[in-house]
């Protein structure tokens, strides 16, 4: 195995204490490799922890739609680390193993739409359009706004945008899944 260009911060990092404590609290006591890379920059790690913490924990958006979008972005961008961390919460939020496997086909002609509700299909299509095309078809946005309302539509768009940022960070810095996923 080759040496990392930018090494992870140590698992037992203690400073800055307030930030380290906040990250560990959000993660249930443990760092993941993403945190260990972010902690090379205190301002980035602080902002990330707050913003992504809000996206993960405090939206009104259905958690299943949130995690569907996160998994979809991961697949579309080739960010296996992201998929590794978001497939379990997707299942916990009501997704099935068949849907998890189907999400690996997002954006492809053989994506099994029959496994998803219309709103879930629209969320998957939004994920594809935002990630690959940037621009989104107005008819799709209208359907989502009608089914989700304004707040949840804005939150879904934000989740997709935020997790495109996450995947780009992970891939550029070659952040890999941990040996033992967090509980």
pLDDT digits (tens, 9 = 90+) for 78-108: 999 899 999 999 999 999 999 999 999 999 9
Asked if residue 159 is part of any domain, the answer here is yes
Domain boundary among 9, 27, 57: 57
Question: Which domain range does residue 75 map to?
Answer: 63-172
Q: Quote the tokens at residue 154.
A: 């804005």
Domain boundary among 8, 29, 57: 57
At 4 the pLDDT is 80
> Which residue is associated with the tokens 């906040």?
22
Residue 47 to residue 50: CA distance in whole angstroms: 5
Asked if residue 79 is part of any domain, the answer here is yes
pTM of the shown model: 0.92
CA-to-CA dists, residue 170 to 6, 19, 82, 103, 123, angstroms? 12, 20, 8, 19, 23
Asked if residue 167 is part of any domain, the answer here is yes
């Amino acid at each position: 195995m080759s040496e990392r260009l930018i090494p992870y911060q140590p698992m037992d990092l203690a400073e800055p204490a307030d930030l380290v404590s906040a990250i560990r609290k959000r993660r249930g006591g443990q760092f993941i490799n993403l945190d260990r890379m972010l902690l090379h920059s205190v301002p980035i790690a602080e902002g990330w922890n707050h913003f992504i913490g809000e996206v993960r924990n405090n939206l009104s958006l259905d958690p299943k739609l949130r995690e569907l979008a996160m998994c979809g972005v991961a697949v579309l961008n080739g960010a296996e680390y992201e998929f590794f961390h978001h497939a379990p919460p997707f299942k916990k939020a009501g997704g099935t193993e068949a849907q998890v496997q189907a999400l690996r086909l997002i954006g492809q002609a053989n994506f099994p739409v029959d496994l998803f509700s219309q709103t879930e299909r629209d969320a998957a299509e939004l994920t594809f359009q935002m990630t690959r095309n940037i621009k989104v078809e107005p008819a799709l946005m209208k359907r989502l706004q009608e089914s989700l309302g304004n707040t949840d539509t804005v939150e879904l768009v934000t989740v997709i945008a935020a997790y495109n940022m996450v995947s780009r960070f992970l891939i550029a810095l070659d952040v890999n899944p941990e040996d033992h996923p967090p509980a």
